[in-house]
């Protein structure tokens, strides 16, 4: 049985959805939690995963509210991330999926918690920028979710009822609620995790499965 979602545009999360960057990001994110806050590795992993999908500075603030070390910890994470993010590969099926969506005449956007110049450069380096109508990254006050969705709706005159958001985290699902339909990708989270969170819609195992669930309106 295939859920078929009719839409005009699809918005992809970046880390863990288009790019296979989560093992790297989790590794440095957990390292920072252990180094700055003295938590065990198991505790750090649990704290990282329960907030993944958010900008790292928010992950820190949610786990260690008002801690004086938060600014330094965030800076070190972002420094470690920028050093190696461009080495992180796309998933093997990502480019094919983008081409399939192009042939289906479905517009493609990126909405990410990674800084915008970083993602733009990432796709430029790989010669893939042309696949995207717009790439939206994080800056304080302009986040994945409501800010990005409202921007896409206003700037591109696309109703959110004609949009599907694809992400790999429970936070991504939360952020789609009240805006648009959602496809969850398994990896960090299982189908059961999405169901427990209240997502009754489409869940896939990889980016390569996404196009077959989408058809242009």
Binding site for Mg ion (CB under 5 A): 13, 15-16, 168
* Residue nearer to Mg ion on the CB measure, 21 or 74: 21
* Residue nearer to Mg ion on the CB measure, 26 or 168: 168
* Residue nearer to Mg ion on the CB measure, 69 or 115: 115
Q: How far is the CB of 91 from Mg ion (least distance, A)?
A: 12
* Residue nearer to Mg ion on the CB measure, 62 or 216: 62
Return the exposure string of 13-50: e unless at least 16 CB atoms fall within 10 Å of the residue's CB, then b.
bbbbbbbbbbebbbebbbbbbeebbebeeeebbebbbe
List, as one string, the DSSP characters of 160-183.
GGGEEEEESSHHHHHHHTTT-EEE
Q: How far is the CB of 147 from Mg ion (least distance, A)?
A: 16
Distance, CA of 13 to CA of 49 (rounded, Å):
16
Return the residue nearest Mg ion (CB atom): 16
**Whole-number Cα distances in Å, 213 to 48, 109, 172:** 30, 17, 18
Q: How far is the CB of 6 from Mg ion (least distance, A)?
A: 25
List, as one string, the DSSP characters of 109-147.
EEEEEEEHHHHHHHHHHTT-GGG-SEEEEEBTTB-TTHH
* Residue nearer to Mg ion on the CB measure, 69 or 82: 82
Q: How far is the CB of 209 from Mg ion (least distance, A)?
A: 16
Q: Which residues pair with 9 in a beta bridge?
A: 107, 163
Q: How far is the CB of 168 from Mg ion (least distance, A)?
A: 4
């Amino acid at each position: 049985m295939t859920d078929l979602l009719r839409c005009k545009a699809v918005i992809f999360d970046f880390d863990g959805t288009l790019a296979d960057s989560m093992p790297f990001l989790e590794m440095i994110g957990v390292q920072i939690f252990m180094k700055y806050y003295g938590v065990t590795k198991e505790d750090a992993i649990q704290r990282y995963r329960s907030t993944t999908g958010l900008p790292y500075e928010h992950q820190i603030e949610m786990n260690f509210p008002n801690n004086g070390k938060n600014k330094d910890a965030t800076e070190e994470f972002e420094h470690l991330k920028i050093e190696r993010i461009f080495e992180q590969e796309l998933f093997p099926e990502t480019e094919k999926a983008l081409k399939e969506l192009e042939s289906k005449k479905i517009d493609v956007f990126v909405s990410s918690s990674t800084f915008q110049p970083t993602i733009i450069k990432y796709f430029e380096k790989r010669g893939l920028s042309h696949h995207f109508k717009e790439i939206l990254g994080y800056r304080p006050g302009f986040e994945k979710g409501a800010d990005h969705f409202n921007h896409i709706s206003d700037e591109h005159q696309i109703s959110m009822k004609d949009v599907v958001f694809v992400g790999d985290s429970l936070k991504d699902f939360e952020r789609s609620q009240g805006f648009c339909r959602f496809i969850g990708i398994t990896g960090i989270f299982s189908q059961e995790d999405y169901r427990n969170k209240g997502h009754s819609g489409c869940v896939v195992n990889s980016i390569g499965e996404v196009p077959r669930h989408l058809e242009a309106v």
